[in-house]
Structure 1
Amino acid sequence: MRVSLRHGRWAVLAAVGVLALAGCGSSGSSKGSTASGSGGTSAAGSSSSAASGAKSWSKEPAMTIDPGKKYTMVLHTSQGDITIAMDAAKAPHAVNSFNFLAAQHFFDGSYCHRLSTSAGLQMLQCGDPTAGATPKATDGQNGPGYQFQDENLTGATYPAGTVAMANAGPNTNGSQFFLVFGDSQLQPAYTPFGTITDGMGVLAHVASGGISDPGQDGTGRPTIPVELKSVSVTAS
């Protein structure tokens, strides 16, 4: 089964062996915080969408992280905190992007828009800044305006606890990511940039509630809503 980003940009195909992640809506198409070392001037061309209020930038933020340091990201969700140890050495562009976006409060108030509980793909997908409490057709199509390169793909696997980038094809990473809560059969096509160190129980709880109005691929909004109240990134 394959996964690809919706409308070719942020959709995700759920497939065993070949899975491309992005947005997945209930229609069935694949569809306050602090951060260290980043600020509003790190990326050029900042703008906001009048329709969604989401910020966007014309290019990837300048590299401000130190790949030699350890970075921790905490997702402060409505169902509890999820703590992620980020791999800045192997995925510096991904870590730098999350560091920047967290400082911009980019994710605050958005909802995780896609849950998969199949044997070949057990994950929760988040990161569309326009995904709100009420599902809509455009959920899973949106990002920060810029894209960045794939990283850390050689020999990549996706066991439970993996955090990786959703994409619409090679080198199309934006802000959408997925949290793996059960071993998933994916080809090495999604940049793994972190490991969950605390909060797997949150994902198990969300998965236990099932999927509301599953789409044709069996994925969709989690019945138990997950709001990203804020996201923080710290370095040590």
Structure 2
Amino acid sequence: MASSRDRQRKLARAKLDRQMARRAATLRRKRRIQAGLGGALALVLIGLGAFWALGGFDKEPENTASDVCVWTPQEPGVNVNAKDVGLPSTTDVPTFGTRDMNLTTNEGNVTVSLDLASAPCGNASLAYLAGKNFYDNTKCHEITTEGALHCGDPSGTNLGGPTYTFANENVPDSAPTPSPSASPAPGTPATYPAGTVALYPNPPGANGSQFLIFFKDFTPSAEPAYPIVGKVSAGMDVVDKISKIGTVDNGSGAQVKPKTDVTIQTLTVGAVQGDQADSTPSANPSAAPSATATPTGAPSGTPTNAS
């Protein structure tokens, strides 16, 4: 008959065998789990590698200026001449190609090719306001001494516009030191050649709805102040005809009001055309319409507010 010590030894051996079996089973489970995780990780890495190889991590080109255009609302009641039409969108702003801005006036039709690459925000504002019929049945209230038709203020006061402003863009580089006659040196391109269309910021640096259509070359004697948004592509003869209309006192002592009304009956902005390579002009004078500089008297180049 087995002794008590033998029985204890057998029990201890059996217990050890059970412990070893449990440990082996646990180790096998861990290995299976690790193998499964390793396989899953490998599949993930293979998938990410394929995604990268196909350009999945490449940044998509952006065709909007939502991070560039900032529309600054005016405080209610500050400008009684402002017209509330809301704010343009900050998304889906075209930053390439051109758009046609079509003006139907009582003197004839004018088409402006807007340069979206150089002035996306200015042109986004023009398109937005045109969509609100902001310019329809408004008068161009000045024929400026600088040689431009001044439009876009429904109030006709030089102070009107929408209830928002936005910063300058595409303002030409500083003008060269003028000659004693205040005219550009021979052979020097004008800062604003005839046919240039530019915004009229009022106050300087804060743009709204007002714009200028230059009918003769202009180079300011001071820092250029007008952001270029495009150029006349058709109807320059109409602009020239308007330029010959005489002017009278606008009520503030300035002889700039047209003797006969120049009315924008409708203003529309068409669809985007072309790509960025087609976009002209730019703030570089050589990219704007070219013409021989014509003495303008003594232009100031600084917006004049009506009191």
Normalised by the shorter chain, which TM-score bucket?
Answer: 0.5 to 0.7
TM-fit CA distance, 1:168: 2.4
Partner of 1:162: 196
1:102–1:233: 8 Å Cα contact kept in structure 2?
yes
1:214–1:220: 8 Å Cα contact kept in structure 2?
yes
> TM-score normalised to the size of structure 1?
0.68
Is 2:233 the counterpart of 1:192? Answer: no
Structure number having the greater strand percentage: 1
Q: Cα RMSD over matched residues?
A: 2.9
Cα separation, partners in 2 of 1:229 and 1:64, compared to 1, 3 Å: farther
| Match runs of 1:66-145 below 5 Å | 66-116=94-144, 118=145, 121-131=146-156, 139-145=157-163
- Of structures 1 and 2, the one scoring higher in RCO (CA 8 A, sep 6+) is 1
Amino acid at match of 1:182: K
Correspondent of 1:64 among 89, 92, 101: 92
Amino acid at match of 1:87: D
Correspondent of 2:259 among 214, 219, 223: 223
Cα separation, partners in 2 of 1:177 and 1:66, compared to 1, 3 Å: same
Correspondent of 2:217 among 183, 186, 198: 183
> TM-score normalised to the size of structure 2?
0.53
Partner of 1:147: 165
Which of 1 and 2 has greater Rg?
2
Pairs aligned (count): 181
Unaligned runs of 5+ in 2: 1-70, 175-190, 274-307
Distance 2:258 2:92 in 1: 35
Structure number having the greater helix percentage: 2
Partner of 1:204: 240
Cα separation, partners in 2 of 1:54 and 1:81, compared to 1, 3 Å: farther
Unaligned runs of 5+ in 1: 1-42, 132-138
Q: What is the DSSP-based 3-state SS (H/G/I as helix, E as strand, rest coil) of the residue aligned with 2:162?
A: coil
Correspondent of 2:208 among 164, 171, 174: 174
Distance 1:217 1:192 in 2: 28
TM-fit CA distance, 1:233: 0.5
Cα separation, partners in 2 of 1:212 and 1:63, compared to 1, 3 Å: farther
Q: What is the DSSP-based 3-state SS (H/G/I as helix, E as strand, rest coil) of the residue aligned with 2:233?
A: strand
Q: Percent identity?
A: 33
